[in-house]
Amino acid sequence: MTSSKTSDNLPAGTLTVTGLHPSGAGLSTFEGLTVLVPGAIPGDVVDARWTPPKPGGRFGLAQSFTVVSASPDADPTRCPLADACGGCPAGRLRYEAELAVKTRLLLEEPLRAAGFAVPVETPAGQPEGARTGFRNKAILRPVRIDGKLRFGMYRARSHEVVPAEDCPQTPAWMAEALRRTAEVLTEVPLYDEKTGEGILRAVLLRDGAVGGTTDEEPGKAARTRLLTPVLKSFDAVDLQTLDAMLRAALAGRDGREEKEDLRVTLIWRENAEPGNAVPGPGRSWSADAVDAIDARVMDDIFAVGPDTFLQVNAVQTPVLYRKAIDALELTGDEDLLDLYSGVGTITLALARRTKGRVLGIEVNPKSVENARRNAARAGLENRTRFEAGLVEDLLSNLLAEEASAGFRPVKAVIDPAFKGIEASVAKALGDAGLTRLVYVSCNPQTFVRDAKRLEAAGLKLIRVEAVDMFLGALHLEAVGTFVRNG
């Protein structure tokens, strides 16, 4: 079939989507050219118009499309926002089909290509009755639609904001909090990341009770809901007045009509850096002088602030952590390592399952501060140690220092960020004499790379499990088990 030209001189034609690109866009081929179709899914037949590849580029990019024939794996009931919002590129697929595609594309094919013959177990998918309202964190950007302030997500492969206050993955209170926030902040100029002008950059929300209550005592009202408006500058607004107005609105006492008290903790963040990172570097301010809310993960309660890393899927996080802990095959008396330990979620779970000590290393000083606070609250401060810094800078020296006190870790959990681990960390782990290591990964590409590094250091990959933490997104959390070679 030959393509035609549209009025804007772009090629156009009918495309059959046969797969998914790692970005989540649909993959199709037209007369030898691979065209990415953001928002389309395997099996769709679409009429599209696309921009040709730039010089040296490999892909055309669909600018718009209409579905001529929907994929047999399409499920139009999953998300009413899926056609516009870029947050869930696989959100139109039947969930079972999504899991199959992600397992093959993200784990099976990369591992096979790298020469690993280990089995990949069927992923632990989200239970059918828990596929809405499960996210404990959301970041939404401001946009004006017909003069009205709204909050939303970026459209696929763009920075155009699509209203998404009613994302079905978030708890209902977040949508109501965003509507009340929009009423209060409606006159604040919106930040433009291209020019650097404007004030209101985003709103971050967290819910610490999605996975269960955090009340430690009967009748005690824990802080479990957080709302953080992110501003370019505190000095550009009357912050205390805005804070008083927003607190009143969130509490349902703004004087106009009686509304439910959402019981939200308000912490403001200033971020003057260019770009779109949220919350980003900068100072925080709260009229209550608080810096965190409470969040329950498995057996413990954790202090969680705007910057804290915490798995966003409250339903699947215990599933993921139990797989990691079970893979260690603990005997109950080992010393253990927890690298990239965050606020200590895995560290404390390990400390509850061994009589030995657990050493955690985390780059974010605020997370380390909260981890120590969390360990003290759990009564585990004497069996845990947390240090702030890069793992590659601290690990070898800390192991040597702790060895003089009789600390001999034989097993470890590592849960690095998207970029994975440095080659020096793999070598240090190999030199540490570990008998077993469990690698929790959110990025299969770096996981495969690091598995090669670990095998070169004497730790052999024997099993890969997967947990779906990101419904609708082209991501899986992998749990790889390594044992000492020989």
Tens digit of each residue's pLDDT (9 = 90 or more) over 74-92: 998 898 888 788 888 888 9
What was the pLDDT predicted at 458?
97
pLDDT, residue 36, reads: 94
Could you give the strand order of the β-sheet that contains 459-467, starting from the edge strand earlier in sequence? 384-388, 358-362, 335-339, 409-414, 436-441, 477-484, 459-467
Q: What is the pLDDT of residue 222?
A: 61
Amino acid at 454: L
**Does residue 221 register a pLDDT over 50?**
no
Asked if residue 15 has pLDDT above 90, the reply is yes
Of 25 and 462, the one with more pLDDT = 462
pLDDT one-digit tens code per residue, 414-455: 999 999 999 999 999 999 999 999 999 999 899 999 999 999
- pLDDT for the residue numbered 56: 86
Task: Report residue 157's pLDDT band, with 50, 70 and 90 as the boundaries.
Answer: confident
Residue 198: what residue type?
Answer: G
Place of tokens 């017909």: 146
pLDDT confidence of residue 220: 42
d(CA 212, CA 297): 9
Nearest to 178 by CA among 141, 146, 207: 141
Residue 151: per-residue pLDDT: 98
Top-confidence residue, 486 or 158: 158
User: Residues 91-139: pLDDT tens digits?
Assistant: 899 999 999 999 999 999 999 999 999 989 889 999 999 999 999 999 9
As annotated, the active-site residues are 442
Is the pLDDT at 247 greater than 60, yes or no?
A: yes
Full-model pTM: 0.90
Which residues does 194 contact at the CB level (< 8 Å), separation at least 6?
Answer: none
- The answer, yes or no, to whether residue 251 has pLDDT greater than 80, is yes
Which tens digits make up the pLDDT trace of 263-315? 999 999 999 999 889 999 999 999 999 999 999 999 899 999 999 999 999 99
pLDDT of residue 316: 96
Q: For residue 154, what are the β-bridge partners?
A: 161
Tell me the pLDDT band of 6, cut-offs 50, 70 and 90: low
Low-confidence winner among 250-254, 386-390, 399-403, 459-463 (lowest mean pLDDT): 250-254
pLDDT of residue 80: 87
What pLDDT is attached to residue 209? 85
Is residue 40 within 8 Å of residue 26, measured between CB atoms?
Answer: yes
Q: Are 344 and 384 in contact (CB under 8 A)?
A: yes
Q: What is the pLDDT of residue 4?
A: 59
pLDDT of residue 8: 66
| pLDDT at residue 89 in the model | 87
What is the rounded average pLDDT of the residues 344-367? 97
Q: What is the pLDDT of residue 218?
A: 39
Closest to 104 in 3D by CA, of 461, 479, 444: 444
Mean pLDDT of 186-202: 96
The confidence score (pLDDT) of residue 57 equals 87
State residue 211's pLDDT score: 52
Q: Which residues are CB-neighbours of 379 under 8 A, at least 6 positions away?
A: none
Mean pLDDT (the chain, rounded): 92
Q: What is the pLDDT of residue 213?
A: 47
pLDDT on residue 2: 47
Q: Which region among 161-175, 201-215, 379-393, 458-472 has the lowest average model confidence (pLDDT)? A: 201-215
The reported pLDDT for the residue numbered 28 is 96
pLDDT of residue 336: 98
pLDDT-above-70 percentage for the chain: 95
For residues 105 and 240, what is the distance between their CA atoms, to the nearest angstrom? 50
